């Protein structure tokens, strides 16, 4: 099972709003129907809460280990994307957060899944 307890954070370094984007290019999980591996690139974008509001940022090694906890999990693309969003929102309580998963093609079909938390700025709303 994906393990949200792996997620660690550190205090936001600023009261000035800023956006963080992390891209993980080697995400893997397992298709629950076929048992075949699924491969994705995950883009995490978020605006941490300001330091004065005890905002936090996700620590990268913990994020990597968290993503790896999906490696042998039989889980659909949509569930992966929404689970990651929910776990990160719980761990960080960001001003807003966006997860976009780009799944490698299988059978001639590629998939892009997006899950948002709170009001995403307009220039981040397009699926990319």
- What are the structural domains of the chain? 4-120 (3.30.1130.10)
Residues 56 and 7 sit within 8 Å (Cβ to Cβ) = no
Please, what is the average pLDDT of the chain?
95
The pLDDT, as a whole number, for residue 127 is 60
* Annotated catalytic residue 38: yes
Annotated active-site residue in 38, 57, 86, 116:
38
| Per-residue buried b or exposed e for 68-101, using 16+ beta carbons within 10 Å of the residue's own CB | bbbeebebebebbbebbbebbbebbbbbbbbbbb
pLDDT one-digit tens code per residue, 29-38: 999 999 999 9
For the segment 35-63, the average pLDDT, to the nearest whole number, is 97
* Annotated catalytic residue 57: no
The pLDDT, as a whole number, for residue 128 is 55
Q: Is 17 helix (H, G, I), strand (E, B) or coil?
A: coil
Q: Which residue has the tokens 């629950």?
A: 32
For the record, the structure tokens of 9 come out as 């954070």
The pLDDT, as a whole number, for residue 105 is 87
Annotated active-site residue in 31, 57, 86, 119:
31
pTM above 0.75, yes or no: yes
Contacts of 28 (CB under 8 A, 6+ apart): 37, 38, 39, 40, 70, 71
For the record, the structure tokens of 116 come out as 């948002």
């Amino acid at each position: 099972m994906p393990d949200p307890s792996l997620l660690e954070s550190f205090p936001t370094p600023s009261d000035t709003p800023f956006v963080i984007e992390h891209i993980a290019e080697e995400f893997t999980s397992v298709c629950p129907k076929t048992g075949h591996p699924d491969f994705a690139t995950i883009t995490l974008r978020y605006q941490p809460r300001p330091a004065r509001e005890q905002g936090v940022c996700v620590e990268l090694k913990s994020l990597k280990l968290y993503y790896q906890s999906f490696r042998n999990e039989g889980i659909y693309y949509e569930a992966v994307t929404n689970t990651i969003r929910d776990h990160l929102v719980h761990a960080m309580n960001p001003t807003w957060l966006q997860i976009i998963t780009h799944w490698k093609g299988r059978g001639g079909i590629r998939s892009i899944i997006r899950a948002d938390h709170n009001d995403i700025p307009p220039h981040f709303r397009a699926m990319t």
